[in-house]
Amino acid sequence: MKVQIQSVKFDADQRLVDFIQHKMDKMDRFVEGVLSAQVNLKVDKDDELGNKVAVVKMDVAGSELVAERRCKTFEEAIDQCLDAIKKQIDKYKEKHR
């Protein structure tokens, strides 16, 4: 799956990019027909809840799945986003049966 990764106002290191690509590649097992995927990363000023924000968007045939999470680390935020996307995929599959 081709994943577009965008980091806002900072440069994501190669380890983080590889982590995201690895996690997104695993999503192919859950849904077919993914047209594109985007991951936006940004650092926010609010450090109380966590200042790392990740937004994952997946374009699936006829629908767009979106999740946004705020955590202490980008890895944790990506994991939580993908868990939310998996739930959306289940709903998508039920709807298109």
Q: Which helix (H) or strand (E) holds 90?
A: helix 74-95
Q: Supply the CATH number for residue 48's domain.
A: 3.30.160.100
CA angle 83, 15, 68 (to 5 degrees): 30
Query: Taking a C-beta distance cutoff of 8 angstroms, is the pair 86, 34 a contact?
Result: no
pLDDT score at 29: 86
pLDDT tens digits, 38-53: 999 999 887 777 899 9
The predicted model scores a pTM of: 0.89
Q: How many domains does the chain have?
A: 1
- Whether 96 has a pLDDT exceeding 80, the answer reads no
Which residue segment(s) compose the domain that 86 sits in?
A: 3-95
pLDDT tens digits, 61-95: 888 999 999 999 999 999 999 999 999 999 988 88
| CA distances in angstroms from 83 to 38, 45, 46, 87, listed in the order given | 16, 25, 23, 7
pLDDT score at 65: 94
- Dihedral of the alpha carbons of 47, 4, 76, 81, in degrees to the nearest 10: 100
